[in-house]
């Protein structure tokens, strides 16, 4: 769960980037303008989302309900457009720098937070499942098994649709479209390992929409942190949902999976990025 310190830090950073003070800071039009100004600076897309959440929290705290632009569908649409513009800008910059022989931007999935994250390996995954089982968090258990088995990012799990799961040669796959560092039309068929029974049960129930329509990011993050504390996981590490992706990468390397296959499973374009995920902790 995002702490008050986290919100304050994001809020202060945002105002340093595009200075504005007082109640004007919480206005929808100003915020959208500031986001557009950040596009050429090279901010990570996930950072834009953190800024949005920080300002949204302030908006809810200080403005009357009829001015909560964070609940406005029109705002959501415009913000999605801004993120799409950001992705296009990133790809143009990457291509230009490559042609000029200059230093490239960050590698795919490079994130300073990743260097601090722990890894929820299979062993820790069992501890997490047991922790969730004690509080009857069955939806979270299913989500954790699927995300870990497919090295899924959090948004990819949230966006998972019944219609995009399928079985081929006895293996379960999820068709992932677009997402982080990807163009909206790019498609990956992601192998989901070790969650056959869970997926079979979900698909058998039927449905044509989201598999996890009520998934709560703050709730699963809080449960992971609680499990880390209960089981004595390294307190110097950051423990959140993305640690599942790190953990599966570590498992794949320790199990002797070739580098090429590990990169394919994690959908990484460079060995450097794969190493950042699968290194020893």
> In this predicted structure, what is the pLDDT of residue 109?
46
**Full-model pTM:** 0.62
pLDDT tens for 218-248 read: 899 999 999 999 999 998 888 999 999 999 9
> In this predicted structure, what is the pLDDT of residue 105?
46
> In this predicted structure, what is the pLDDT of residue 106?
45
> In this predicted structure, what is the pLDDT of residue 84?
77
> In this predicted structure, what is the pLDDT of residue 24?
62
Closest CA to 132 of 64, 40, 231: 231
Domain limits of the chain?
4-100, 115-278
Q: What percent of the chain has pLDDT over 70?
A: 74
Half-sphere exposure of 16 (CA within 13 A, CB side): 6
> In this predicted structure, what is the pLDDT of residue 27?
75
Alpha-helix runs per DSSP H in the chain: 4-17, 28-38, 45-62, 73-100, 122-134, 138-150, 154-158, 196-204, 217-230, 243-254, 259-266, 271-278
> In this predicted structure, what is the pLDDT of residue 114?
65
Q: In angstroms, rounded to a whole number, what is the distance separating the alpha carbons of residues 14 and 11? A: 5
> In this predicted structure, what is the pLDDT of residue 56?
79
In CATH, the architecture of 115-278 is Orthogonal Bundle (1.10)
Q: In angstroms, rounded to a whole number, what is the distance separating the alpha carbons of residues 44 and 1? A: 21
Q: In angstroms, rounded to a whole number, what is the distance separating the alpha carbons of residues 214 and 158? A: 9
Q: In angstroms, rounded to a whole number, what is the distance separating the alpha carbons of residues 265 and 149? A: 10
Residues of the chain with pLDDT under 50: 1, 104-110
């Amino acid at each position: 769960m995002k702490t008050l310190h986290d919100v304050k830090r994001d809020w202060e950073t945002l105002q340093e980037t595009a200075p504005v003070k007082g109640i004007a800071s919480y206005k929808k039009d100003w915020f959208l303008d500031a986001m557009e100004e950040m596009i050429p600076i090279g901010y990570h897309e996930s950072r834009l989302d953190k800024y949005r959440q920080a300002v949204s929290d302030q908006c809810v705290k200080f403005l009357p309900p009829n001015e909560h632009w964070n609940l406005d569908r029109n705002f959501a649409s415009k913000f999605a457009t801004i993120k799409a513009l950001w992705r296009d800008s990133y790809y143009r910059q990457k291509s230009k720098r490559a042609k000029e022989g200059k230093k490239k931007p960050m590698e795919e999935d490079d994130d300073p937070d990743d260097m601090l994250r722990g890894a929820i390996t299979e062993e820790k995954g069992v501890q997490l499942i047991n922790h969730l089982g004690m509080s009857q968090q069955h939806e979270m258990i299913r989500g954790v098994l699927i995300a870990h088995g497919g090295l899924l990012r959090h948004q990819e799990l949230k966006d998972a649709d019944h219609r995009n799961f399928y079985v081929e040669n006895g293996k379960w796959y999820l068709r992932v479209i677009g997402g982080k560092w990807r163009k909206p039309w790019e498609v990956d068929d992601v192998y989901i390992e070790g969650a056959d029974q869970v997926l079979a049960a979900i698909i058998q129930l039927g449905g044509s929409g989201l598999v996890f329509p009520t998934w709560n990011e703050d709730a699963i993050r809080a449960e992971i942190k609680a499990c880390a504390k209960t089981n004595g996981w390294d307190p110097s590490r950051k423990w959140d949902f993305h640690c599942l992706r790190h953990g599966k990468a570590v498992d794949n390397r320790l199990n002797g999976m070739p580098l090429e296959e590990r990169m394919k499973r994690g959908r990484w374009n460079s060995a450097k990025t794969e190493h950042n995920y699968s290194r020893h902790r």
